Structure 1
Amino acid sequence: MTSLLLNPDLLSTALPAGWHAAVPGPDDVADLHALRARHEVAARGAESAGLDATRAELTGNAAETRVHVMLRDAAGAARGWATAHDRAAGRVLVAVVVDPELDDATGDEVAAVLFAWAEGAGVAHARARELSRTQLDSGAFEPDTRHQRRLAAAGYEHVRTWWQMRRPVVDEGHGLGPTGPGVVIRRLEREEGGMPGARDLVAAHDILEQAFTDHFNHHEETFEEFLARLRSDPGHRWDHWWLAELVDGDEPQAVGVLIASASTDADGRAVGSYVEYLGVRRVARGRGVARSLLDAVVTDAAERGRRYVGLEVDADSPTGAADLYLSSGFTTSYVTQSWHRYADVL
């Protein structure tokens, strides 16, 4: 496996004549972003990821936990790209992008090569963590039956559906309602321009680990992994973190957290806010904490002149989260799917 990662040209025997594989670098960012954009437009009618995200994954801080391989055809055009992201212990995110302009037979052949490479890369991640098995977690847009067919051919199963939701932000009446009784929402405490203090950061991590323990496909993340992953996102902003505290007891009790990021357009301008995480401890559920946190991010987006707030929700969530978002003015923009398979470390 190590030799495959270091010398991806070993894949060439399984590729169409004249094609070659390589580890992408800075000079490949534009081509791979264009490839991803073609895939997204063909699959759902619009781009999803910005150029900053592609650059971060390939050459920025986000590259530290990812390995990549790219395929170019005989004319040198980027036609395929696979990523294996060491997301957490026992969970590897697999992304496979195949140029939609290829005919189905060639595309199927390319996809099979990329999924096989990704399995090997996922096993290498698991071996480095001294694990005997890992989950390979991939996905598809709901309308993209071609990619779903390729996932199934690679041994993946459709396990979950996700709603990608948005709420427009308007100048008047942008809030969702008053803060719940006994609930205070605040940003993490930090010095001007600096990182938040360890106490608030640890509280945010602990709340999310507790809130999501019983959620679908939760994999525990260490505090260090949690911070490093969020900070590697080009949309990360420290002033987009909020804590919810109950203040009707002897001491304030941190019970909820919302972490958002800035969503940018093709020119790098922040045009929206995106809710990366919203978690509330069980002890505080039913007290309006989640709605109060939503109010904070929507109000903040309005004050910044942004157009919308976006988020992802499990369509089958047992917590009623989807109902909360629907009642708060969020509507579904598009739908995605999670596909899983498992790989053993031999």
Structure 2
Amino acid sequence: MALVIPEDNRFESDPDDALPEDPGLPEGWTAEAPDGSDPATVARLAELLRGHERAGRGWAGSGEDEVRVEVSEHGLAMRENLVVRDADGLIRAWGSVHDRAEGRMLFVHIVDREVDERLAGRCSDVLFEWAEAQARAVGAARGLAVQQIDTGAFADDERQHEWLAAAGFERVRTWWQMSRSVEAAEAELVPDPARWERKGVVFRLVEREGGPGSMPDVADLRAVHQVLEGAFTDHFNSAEETFQEFIHRVREDPGHRWDHWWLAEITDGDGDPEPAGALVGTVSESDTGPDGSYVSYLGVLESARGRGVATGLLRTIIADAASRGRDRVGLEVDADSPTGADGLYTSMGWGTKYVTESWHRDVPVT
């Protein structure tokens, strides 16, 4: 399968056209698009990102790979970035916008924790002004009347909360970031993580067109996409994402691996197997210990609920992680969801490691 590239970038690529003539920065300070191919720029943005994480949750987990997702040539197919430099040329703030799906624009907002309160606030204002202009640009390109800006914050990051509220954002959702330890013996949780069956449901890896190491079968990838779209139709802030957008985005994740994608199919009856559930996993790499696995997406169609599909997929990724010598499996759960999914996770050993929030602002396009 060839690399899938979505439609052309819909953002305003020139920061000068997305900001006032005088953005109100101190003398000598500038706002510009960063050079994502410059190692020093990537390293500095990673430093800012890690500082942001430490201030918000007490520890840093990201690195340069996560930055490249935002600023690389590949990432810019669906993104734009802005940095604010001080008079010495040091990057003090970073904003990134992502055309995630129709009507939904993701926004990264990071300001150096070493900058004094007044200057930090001005940097924050510049990022918000730029993001608002980008929301109008991408909304207009998609033919929308209103464009949502979707950004996140750590639950304990009061500075970020104050800035978001002052900029017109509303806190709309809370998310539990959960983790579960994995023991070596749990490799036996399922007969074979590559393929096993229970009560008329087959759990299997997506097929590879030319065997192990080759690209996945496109029909299987479309089945995963269709299951996830169908499973999340009524979920909070669900926005339809095309197959091309979905594949392009998930392949950007530094932890992406094709051999971490599973389908669950209903096989009882006389017809062909029917996709009923899907799990997209990734690798959580560690510099200090064993790697972990992460459940990026888990969806089960309503017609198949109550048949143990979600439990089977979770047992599969746990067994797979154990067989690879990993020590944990992480996932995110909607703390406000009425489905009670958190009950399944806690019953299977997951616990909350930290908490994040979604903050939204709707921007009129015209």
TM-score of the superposition, structure 1-length normalised? 0.94
1:293-332 → structure 2 map (5 Å cutoff): 293-332=313-352
Asked if structure 2 preserves the Cα contact closer than 8 Å seen for 1:7 and 1:22, the reply is no
Aligned to 2:266: 246
Any unmatched runs of 5+ in structure 1? none
One-letter amino acid matched to 1:106: L
- 2:100 is aligned, of 87, 91, 95, to 87
* Conservation of the 8 A alpha-carbon contact between 1:162 and 1:313: yes
Question: 2:86·2:92 contact (CA, 8 Å) conserved in 1?
Answer: yes
Written as runs of structure 1 = structure 2, the 5 A alignment for 1:190-229 is 190=208, 191-192=210-211, 193-229=213-249
Match of 1:150 among 137, 148, 163: 163
Correspondence 1:233 to 2:253:
yes
What is the identity, as a one-letter code, of the residue corresponding to 2:218?
A: A
Instruction: Quote the offset at 1:119 in angstroms.
Output: 1.0
Query: Amino acid of the residue matched to residue 90 of structure 1?
Result: G
Extract structure 1 runs of 4+ deviating beyond 6 A. Answer: none
SS at match of 2:291: strand
Q: Deviations over 1:79-100 (max 9, x none)?
A: 1001111000110001110111
- The question of whether the paired residues in 1 share the 8 Å contact of 2:187 and 2:323 is answered with no
Q: For residues 10 and 270 of structure 1, do their structure 2 counterparts lie closer, same or farther at Cα, with a shift above 3 Å needed? A: farther
**Percent sequence identity over aligned pairs:** 50
Corresponding residue for residue 202 of structure 2: 184
Structure 1 residue 224: Cα displacement: 1.1
Q: Which residue in the other structure is 2:69 paired with?
A: 56
8 A contact 2:32–2:83 mirrored in 1? yes
Q: Structure 1 residue 266: deviation in Å?
A: 4.6
SS in 1 for 2:317: helix
Q: Which amino acid aligns with 2:27?
A: A
Task: In structure 2, give the amino acid aligned to 1:272.
Answer: G
Task: Tell me the CA shift for residue 270 of structure 1.
Answer: 7.4
Distance 1:2 1:214 in 2: 32
- Name the residue aligned to 2:292: 272
How far does the alpha carbon of each residue in 1:230-251 deviate from its partner, in whole angstroms, 9 at most, with x for none?
1122211111100001122223
Count of aligned positions:
345
- The alpha carbon displacement at 1:113 in A equals 1.2
Q: Select the residue among 15, 39, 43 that pairs with 2:25.
A: 15
Partner of 1:24: 34
Q: 1:302 to 1:12 in 2, by over 3 A?
A: farther
Aligned residue number for residue 109 of structure 1? 122
SS of match in other structure, 1:322: helix
Equivalent residue for 2:55?
42
Which one-letter code corresponds to 1:63 in the other structure?
A: L
**Deviation, structure 1 residue 321:** 1.1
Partner SS state of residue 149, structure 1: helix
CA distance in 2, matches of 1:174, 1:194: 25
Q: For residue 216 of structure 2, give the secondary structure of its aligned residue in structure 1.
A: coil
Work out the CA distance in 1 between the residues paired with 2:275 and 2:247.
Answer: 19
Q: Give, as a single letter, the amino acid of the residue that structure 2 aligns with 1:173.
A: E
Q: Over aligned residues, Cα RMSD in angstroms?
A: 2.0
Equivalent AA in structure 2 for residue 61 of structure 1: H
CA, structure 1 residues 108+175, in 2 after alignment: closer, same or farther (shift >3 Å)? farther
Tell which deviates more after alignment, 10-19 or 330-339. 10-19
CA distance in 2, matches of 1:123, 1:22: 19
> C-alpha offsets along residues 61-96 of structure 1, whole Å, 9 cap, x if unaligned?
223111000011112221100111100011000111
**1:177 shift after superposition:** 6.9
Residue type at the aligned position of 1:136: I
Question: Is contact 2:263–2:278 with CA below 8 Å preserved after alignment?
Answer: yes
Structure 2 distance, partners of 1:335, 1:215, is: 19
Secondary structure of 1:38 counterpart: helix
C-alpha distance in 1 between matches for 2:205 and 2:85: 46
Cα distance in structure 2, aligned partners of 1:249 and 1:207: 20
Tell me the residue number matched to 2:133: 120
Q: How many angstroms does 1:3 deviate by?
A: 7.5
* TM superposition shift of 1:183: 1.6
Return closer, same or farther for 1:278/1:71 CA change in 2, 3 Å cut-off: same
Instruction: Pick closer, same or farther for the CA change 1:322–1:24 going to 2, 3 Å.
Output: same
Go from structure 1 to structure 2 and tell me whether the alpha carbon gap of 1:84 and 1:11 turns closer, same or farther (over 3 Å shift).
farther
Question: Shift of residue 130 of structure 1?
Answer: 2.1
Corresponding residue number in structure 1 for 2:15:
5
1:130-141 matched pairs, under 5 angstroms: 130-141=143-154
Q: Which residue identity lines up with residue 189 of structure 1 in the other structure?
A: E
CA contact (8 A) 1:180 1:289 kept: no
Given that 2:15 and 2:31 are in contact with CA atoms closer than 8 Å, whether structure 1 keeps it comes out as no
Distance 2:72 2:146 in 1: 28
